[in-house]
Every structure is written in structure tokens, then in C-alpha cells.
Amino acid sequence: MGKLFFVALPIGNLEDITLRALRILKETDLILAEKPIKTLKLLSHFKIRKSIYPYFEGKNERNLNKVLQAIREDKNIVFVSEAGTPGIADPGQKLVNWAIENRLAMEFIPGVSALNFVISVSGFRSKGFDFFGFLPKKGRTKLAQIIKFNWDDEKALIFFFSPYRLIRDLEFLNSLDQNLEIVLAKEATKMHEQIFRGSLSKVLEDLKQETIKGEWTGIIRKRL
């Protein structure tokens, strides 16, 4: 019986990949990838040639049968998300449960994560963190109630932001409380990385002068 590996990839800077991750990628029989084109570029950079099957939650479900058969034939399979550590706001969450249901052996290779990055750079001394992933397009009234119920003065909240909804999402959060501060990371670990700090209202004003492209992660707390 083979094994299903979950391998963390860099979130921007390719030098952040671990030696263990490279070894597993080289030794595996095939790769299941959330974004095959992006994964192929990374493999090419490290001169690794492997067969890649696409897998995105709700799509490419037929490839799971191929994975199951391959593992039963004593082959090792790797799953990689678009970037970062699998299982954090990506199809890896469903895949782990699928593997548990099918009693498959699993191994997890940790690495860089935008979640850990923004906690580290924030400097916030909080007693806890709540991670909300990407804010939904709909159902925000209910979400506002959940956030307010779970939030206290000693807890920070972490969000991923789509560049297409960044301003709208930040304005929504600012409407919940006018006394918030944020550390917002743009293109973390990449060449054009930027960190915005300050009150949420000030950062919103600063963003009017910025190009809202790229990947964004933010951590927010009530101002002390």
C-alpha cells in the first residue's frame, strides 16, 4: 500500500521550499495539484519531471479514483495546493477527509504559510487568533454576528483577501467596529512585498494610492 503526501510549497519565493519537500516531490509517482500550470512551473524550476493530475474541490473528482487505485498498487501520491501549506482554505481539507474515509496512509510535509507569515510580521501580542479564510460574497449579515460574538479585546482575526474584493471586504470589517488596527501583507515573500500597518480606516485611505493586484493577507485586532 502506498501513501498520500501533502506537501507545502512556497507562497512566492521559491527559495522557501524545504529540502524534505523537494525530496518527496522527486520520489513520488505522481502529483495531484490544485493549479497544475503553476505546479509545473515550480517543478521545472527544480528540474523535476512528474505526471500531474488536476484536483479542485467540486471538479476533477474522477481523478480521486486514479489516486486510490495507484495507492493500492503501492505507489506514492503527492497533493499540492496552489501555494503554501495544504488544508488551509484549499481543496486539501476535503482530500484529508477522503483519505481518512478510505483508510489511506498519509504524511504531511509542513512549510511556509501566509497565515503564519502575517502573524509573525504583525507583532500583535494576542491571546488567540481566529482564521476566517476568504470572506463570502453573500451572507455577510450572519457573518457579522458570528465575528462580533467570538471577538474580544485580546483576540486577533486573520483573513485572506481577493484583490477583486479587497476594498469592499475591508470596508465591511471597518463597519463592524471603528476602533480596529490592521497589518495587511501584499505579495508576501515576493519581490514586490508590501506591509501596510495602522488603523483600518487609515490603511483603507492608503490603498487608494496602490495597485490592488496580487495576493493579500490581513490580521486585525481592536486597538489597545
Domains of the chain: 3-109 (3.40.1010.10), 114-222 (3.30.950.10)
CA 3 to chain centre: 23
* pLDDT of 59: 72
Residue type at 187? E
Residue 37 makes CB contacts below 8 A (sequence gap 6+) with none
- Tens digits of per-residue pLDDT, 145-160? 877 766 777 789 999 9
Give phi and psi for 76, each to the nearest 5. Answer: -105, 135
Average pLDDT over every residue of 191-203: 95
Give me the sheet containing 3-7, strands edge to edge: 51-54, 30-33, 77-80, 3-7, 105-109
50 phi/psi in degrees, rounded to 5: -145, 155
- For CA atoms 105, 110, 114, 117, the dihedral sign is positive
Report the chain's mean pLDDT, rounded to a whole number: 91
What is the mean predicted confidence (pLDDT) over 155-180? Answer: 92
